[in-house]
Amino acid sequence: MKIFAGSSNLGLAKKIAKKAGLNFGKIEVSRFKNDESRILVKEDRLGKEAVVVQSLSQPTDHNLIEFNLICDALKRMGVKEITAVIPWLGYSKQDKVFRQGEPLSVKVIAKMLQVISLEKIITFDLHNLAILGFFEIPVINLSARLLLEDYFLKKINKNTIVVAPDAGAIKLSTAFAHKLGIGVVYIDKKRDLKTGKVKIFGISGGVKGKEVIIIDDMIATGGTLIKTANFLRKKGVQSIKVGVTHHLYVNGTQEKLEKSAIDEIVVTDTIKPKIKSKKLKVLSVAEIITKEIV
């Protein structure tokens, strides 16, 4: 079994290959002058199975096509079973028809990912578990929570509390707080569906003087975290740390986070780390994926 990688997260793919003791499949991934993806698998013989690693991070649509073309090339070379490692499933926030006139985008992406038959997909901390139902093949939804728990377990004290930044993060944050044996409070946040702007209406408990850990599944524009952090500072918290699985590295977001009231941001490498910063700590999910594929 060989492991192949598209251009989205080569670093993670290399780590997995090393840990799993798998050979890295030779592949040329480039673009034609008109911007179309160009794939060339440079192997003479391939086994029955292969692993393909590709995050649907920016440029999302391009990375999706790249993934499909790699899988097609492998199938044409005789590979029967492809395990797709898609640590970040792009479009997963578009998991509902929020307003009339919108598509059910992630369902369309699920169909597109299954154009070339796959054995299974391995992903991380899906935004909504209902997405699993949009696939006809097994989807293993791994979690980076254990990594974050281990990290923060060494940092907590009696004064630490977990904050869920919105209703969607309640389940994740509560489980996290229970695991760490500390308290949890919830923030009432709403997002304007037209403008995307975030507004905070209140919090379920006191946080004055507390060392806060905010747990969420992703950072996109950073709006949720920055608004939450400003709100918490006004409530008199002592420090703010953040634990998130996916950092989408949307243009300008990390710069805003750098200037924000947040002291530390812990993310994983489900998406290729694009920025180095003292505030940013990146944990690797390579070990968790390796355990799943070997």
Residues at the interface with ligand R5P (CB under 6 A): 93, 165-166, 168-169, 198, 216-224
Nearer to ligand R5P, 137 or 193 (CB): 193
Is 189 one of the annotated active-site residues of the chain? yes
Best CA proximity match to 1, nearest among 293, 285, 287: 293
Question: 35: left (phi > 0), else alpha (psi -120 to 50), else beta?
Answer: left
Q: Is residue 268 helix, strand or coil?
A: strand
Residue 209 DSSP SS3: coil
For 254, the token pair is 């990390």
Which residue, 93 or 281, is less far from ligand R5P as judged by CB?
Answer: 93
Given 2, 15, 107, 189, the catalytic residue: 189
CB 219 to ligand R5P: min, Å: 5
Q: CB of 275 within 8 A of CB of 251?
A: no
Q: In 3D, which of 278, 254, 283, 250 has the Cα closest to residue 266?
A: 283
Cis peptide bond prior to 103, omega within 30° of 0: no
Helical (H) or strand (E) element with 264: strand 264-268
Smallest gap from Cβ 76 to ligand R5P, in A, equals: 38
- Cβ 90 to ligand R5P, closest distance in Å? 13
For residue 23, report the phi and psi dihedrals to the nearest 5 degrees: -75, 145
Residue carrying structure tokens 């700590």: 281
CB nearer to ligand R5P: give 52 or 172.
172
Distance of closest approach, residue 172 Cβ to ligand R5P, in angstroms = 8
Residue 165 Cβ vs ligand R5P, minimum distance, rounded to whole Å = 6
Instruction: Answer for the pair 164, 173: CB distance below 8 angstroms, yes or no.
Output: yes
Instruction: Compute, in degrees rounded to 10, the torsion defined by CA atoms 258, 259, 262, 265.
Output: -10
Active site residues: 189
